[in-house]
Amino acid sequence: MPLASLGRRALDAWEVPRDLLFGRYPAFVTGGALELGEIPVFVFHDAEPESFGRALAHLSRNRYETLSIDEYLDVLRGRAKAPPRGVLLTFDDGRGSVWSVAAPMLRRHGMRAACFLVPGRVPTHAPRPTWDEVEAGKAARANVLSREAQGFPLLSWEEIDGLVRSGTFTFDSHTLSHARVHTGPQLAGFVTPRSRLGYDAFDLPLVRAGDRDLVGAEVPLGTPIFRSEPRTSDARRFFEDEAVRSACVARVEEAGAERFFERGDWSARLERAFAGTRVSGRLETPDEQAAHIRRELVDARRLIEQHTGRPTLHLCYPWHAAGELARRLAAEAGYESAFCGKVAGVPITRPGGDLHRIARLGEDWVELLPGEGRASLVQVLRRKWSRLFPGARG
């Protein structure tokens, strides 16, 4: 396992004990009650049949009610009374498993959820097979669970249309392109075949070529990646001169493009090609920064409304990064609420709370909700850590 990946997983593993120590989770996570008026908001990315099915079974068995975002906000605004066991299920990114796995399972339990789309990356293609078809013997399990490998990692507009019409999902904004931007000249890596595809492409910072930004598979292999931050942070973008990419891109092209990365020393070879390069460029102006963030927010609303025929009034910040500028521009763009991850001092957003900084909990904690068959925190952490370190032995 690469050291960078191992480091990220170690940080993820340490995050839970740290946050428990500092009281950043609501009481039900550690075996307490769900207090009157509390409506937990859970965030999912993928839907894996076994774990997602187990979570929905726990909710169904204990008669939890899945709310829409509008119903949830009515409670926070004091316009409606919180149901005894209400939850809000949210999905970030609009990944393909929302259609293939989550929607069929939600329908089976009479439940619903909300999804935050990245409309600038949504493809057009016919609906793919679903878990219902697997269980009916009409599709292979491996075929449904390997969408990303087959080139279908995200929901298509055709699938989104079907989900809107079924009432299983509502769709709101995760910004136009879920962008990261370079913020300085410090080298952080290089563009590889894997980094351009599927969900990994979200982590690839925008690369400016002429007067447009390249994303995903448009970015030449071998392109140097520099220090970066989410576009909705307060960090200003660094525009590197395009010439700094030429040596590395040429080295990859000369050595067979994707075949170059089959060599074990590909990273060292690119570092040697880059060595001695002086990274020149400029920081964007405050006006450029505001214009770009505004476009990410406004164009996302426009596209989602155009395709769904419904108002787009709610926002989820990519990487849960919301700088002061982005928050101000989101309000100006007409968003009525904004969803984050953990919010300092707010284990769970209660009625009267800040609608533009709504706290959410990870999917792992669904089975810790009070009720029959409630899991223990030890069980949940054991599963979580086994996913982070699949080769480890207890």
pLDDT in tens, 154-197: 999 999 999 999 999 999 999 999 999 999 999 999 999 999 99
Let me know if residue 300 belongs to a domain. Answer: yes
Same-domain pairing of 39 and 143: yes
Let me know if residue 162 belongs to a domain. Answer: yes
Let me know if residue 12 belongs to a domain. Answer: no
pLDDT more than 70, % of the chain: 93
Q: In the numeric block, which tokens belong to residue 98?
A: 């929302």
Same-domain pairing of 170 and 49: yes
Same-domain pairing of 157 and 246: no
Cβ-based neighbours of 316, under 8 Å, separated by 6 or more: 90, 92, 116, 172, 173, 174, 338, 339, 340
What contacts 24+ positions apart, CB below 8 Å, involve 20-25? 23/347, 24/342, 24/347, 25/347, 25/361, 25/365
Same-domain pairing of 330 and 358: yes
Q: In the numeric block, which tokens belong to residue 169?
A: 């999902």
Same-domain pairing of 268 and 300: no
Q: How confident is the model at residue 382 (pLDDT cuts 50, 70, 90)?
A: confident
Q: Identify the domain containing residue 161 by its residue range.
A: 21-176+294-366
Same-domain pairing of 172 and 301: yes
Same-domain pairing of 147 and 274: no
Query: From CA 59, how far away is CA 15, in angstroms rounded?
Result: 26
Let me know if residue 259 belongs to a domain. Answer: yes
The last residue of one of the domains, among 250, 278, 306, is 278
Q: Give how many domains the chain has, as a whole number.
A: 2
Highest mean pLDDT among 142-151, 236-245, 382-391: 236-245
Let me know if residue 7 belongs to a domain. Answer: no
Same-domain pairing of 42 and 146: yes
Same-domain pairing of 198 and 308: no
Same-domain pairing of 137 and 208: no
Q: What is the CATH number of the domain that holds 85?
A: 3.20.20.370
pLDDT tens for 191-244 read: 999 999 988 999 999 999 999 999 999 999 999 999 999 999 999 999 999 999
Let me know if residue 332 belongs to a domain. Answer: yes
Same-domain pairing of 203 and 326: no
Same-domain pairing of 257 and 332: no
Residues 328, 334, 340, CA angle at the centre, nearest 5°?
60
Q: In the numeric block, which tokens belong to residue 388?
A: 């982070």
Let me know if residue 30 belongs to a domain. Answer: yes
pLDDT at 343 over 90: yes
Query: From CA 369, how far away is CA 376, in angstroms rounded?
Result: 10
Query: From CA 209, how far away is CA 198, in angstroms rounded?
Result: 22
pLDDT mean across residues, the chain: 93
